Amino acid sequence: MRMVAYHTIQHTTASLPLQTRARLWYRTAMVSATDDYDVIIAGASYAGLTATRHLNRHGHRVLLLDEHAIGAVRHSACAVPTRTLADVGGLSSSVQETAWGVIHTKLNTVRYRSPEPWTIFDHRAVCDTLRVQAPHVPFLQARITQFDGHAVTTDKGRFTAHCFLDATGWRAALASARQPGFIDRGRVTIGMEVTVPHRTDAMHFYVNREIVRWGYGWIFPCGDTSRVGIGAFDNPKGIPDLLRAFLRRLGMSDDLRSVERTGGFLPWQQRPAVLDNLWLLGDAAGHCLPLTGEGIRFAFQDGDLAGHLLDEMLAGTRTWDTASAIYASTIERHRRRIGSFTHLQNFVRHVPNAAFAPMAWLLARRAVCSWGLTRYLNWEHDAVPDVP
């Protein structure tokens, strides 16, 4: 274990509120001689890796942790606006790009053109692209089991730091370890998906209660294959059966064992973004959008914001206090927009199945589609204010 430089301890605590400062000084006094890192980033997926690339300076003592090898496990259908992928330097991981979408309801099928293209990408390739942008940040494959606010306990040992980023996805491993009951399992969408041989030129959405009572099915194009999945907002039991029935309805094999299968939970619970010296990012903070289930774009944005602020703090140009306040307030504005999608998702629950047809028709009108999707695609965190 390395010594923590005194000036680092000082500048990270200088302007914290009194109570927090007292807690940190207490911890500092007790354990500063054995602190390992300035920052520990838990979770090496979209949010964690994006934050890491800002913390690549030799002087920063940063550790990146994940229970899996980087890029080894895909939980997602991996569809993002092409612009989002370009922003993180990941265009080379693109498998298929399309601007076309198709909405299927019980009574009609409508096709629309997005004002900007979307890309379905290769998960491992994007993770590799992000990882090479931070070669000086060490990575440790280790499962996190405990967190007490100052040290992370893993199956490979215990590591201390001044501050922590929780980018461990919907489980929020650090925040949950610190606050039992942190996760509300009633406010997660369950998603399951298979990759099957099937070619298409568009992203298809199935909004039909005969397929899933409260949720939607999808087919996303991916070269010679397609990613076919079901998402249910109320996390019901029996999602594999729903997916099998959906595949049969599409005239595809319903044998889930013979194809690549993935799945998981999409949190739409608003969780705190800052807990003392812990910041939450991406799905850990509940930033997956209700209704659409889009989360990768916001995980990238959270990672960029958190990484940028922490870099400035570690370089001594911003205090922890200011950085935390900017992170919290930016996320708060993001949350207000997420809230409107929670209302829409709740509204959809009460819409009769037949009413989806005229709604889909309206959404696919060129003017409506262009206006709505342009606003949706421009959804970005505010820029970080310059250091005065």
Ligand X SMILES: Cc1cc2nc3c(=O)[nH]c(=O)nc-3n(C[C@H](O)[C@H](O)[C@H](O)COP(=O)(O)OP(=O)(O)OC[C@H]3O[C@@H](n4cnc5c(N)ncnc54)[C@H](O)[C@@H]3O)c2cc1C
63, 88, 239, 266: which one binds ligand X (CB under 6 A): 266
263, 274, 379, 381: which one binds ligand X (CB under 6 A): 263
Give the DSSP letter string of 59-98.
T--EEEEESS-TT----S--EEEHHHHHHTT-GGGEEEEE
SS3 sequence, 311-325?
A: HHHHCCCCCHHHHHH
Question: Which residue, among 199, 44, 186, 5, has the nearest Cα to 120 in the 3D structure?
Answer: 199
From 71-79, 233-241, 319-327, 329-337, give the range in contact with ligand X by CB under 6 A.
71-79
Q: How far apart are CA 306 and CA 289, in angstroms?
A: 19
Q: Is 269 an interacting residue with respect to ligand X (CB under 6 A)? A: no
Touching ligand X, residues 136-165 (CB under 6 A): 143-144
Shortest reach from residue 140's CB to ligand X, in Å: 10
Shortest reach from residue 232's CB to ligand X, in Å: 11
Q: Is 122 an interacting residue with respect to ligand X (CB under 6 A)? A: no
Q: Is 173 an interacting residue with respect to ligand X (CB under 6 A)? A: yes
10, 14, 34, 68: which one binds ligand X (CB under 6 A): 68
CA–CA distances in Å: residue 173 to residues 102, 145, 193, 297: 37, 8, 24, 21
39, 62, 167, 196: which one binds ligand X (CB under 6 A): 167
From 15-23, 51-59, 233-241, 287-295, give the range in contact with ligand X by CB under 6 A.
287-295
What is the per-residue binding string for ligand X in 186-205, x denoting contact by CB under 6 A? -----x-x------------
CA–CA distances in Å: residue 149 to residues 24, 128, 176, 273, 277: 10, 30, 11, 15, 7
Question: Which residue, among 368, 226, 225, has the nearest Cα to 217 in the 3D structure?
Answer: 226
Q: Is 110 an interacting residue with respect to ligand X (CB under 6 A)? A: no
- Size of site (CB under 6 A) for ligand X: 40
What is the per-residue binding string for ligand X in 200-239, x denoting contact by CB under 6 A? -----------------------------x----------
242, 243, 288, 369: which one binds ligand X (CB under 6 A): 288
Cβ pair 271, 182 in contact under 8 A: yes
Shortest reach from residue 326's CB to ligand X, in Å: 20
Question: Which residue, among 71, 186, 184, 60, has the nearest Cα to 126 in the 3D structure?
Answer: 71
Count CB-CB contacts under 10 A for residue 374.
Answer: 12
> Residue 138: helix, strand or coil by DSSP?
coil
> Alpha helices of 140-267 — where are they, by DSSP H?
173-178, 239-249
Shortest reach from residue 76's CB to ligand X, in Å: 3
Q: How far apart are CA 223 and CA 96, in angstroms?
A: 6
Shortest reach from residue 241's CB to ligand X, in Å: 16
Strand intervals (E) in the chain: 37-42, 62-66, 79-81, 94-104, 109-121, 139-141, 144-147, 151-154, 157-166, 188-197, 203-206, 215-222, 225-232, 260-267, 274-275, 278-280
From 4-12, 245-253, 262-270, 308-316, give the range in contact with ligand X by CB under 6 A.
262-270
Q: Which residue is nearest to ligand X (CB)?
A: 295
Q: Is 35 an interacting residue with respect to ligand X (CB under 6 A)? A: no
| Per-position b or e across 141-173, b if 16+ CB within 10 A of its CB | bbebeebebbbbbbeeeebbbbbbbbbbbbbbb
* Comparison of 53 and 75: residue with beta carbon closer to ligand X: 75
Shortest reach from residue 166's CB to ligand X, in Å: 9
What is the per-residue binding string for ligand X in 302-341, x denoting contact by CB under 6 A? ----------------------------------------
35, 67, 122, 312: which one binds ligand X (CB under 6 A): 67
Which residues lie near ligand X (CB under 6 A)?
43-48, 65-68, 73, 75-80, 143-144, 167-169, 171, 173, 191, 193, 229, 263-264, 266, 282-284, 288, 293-297, 299
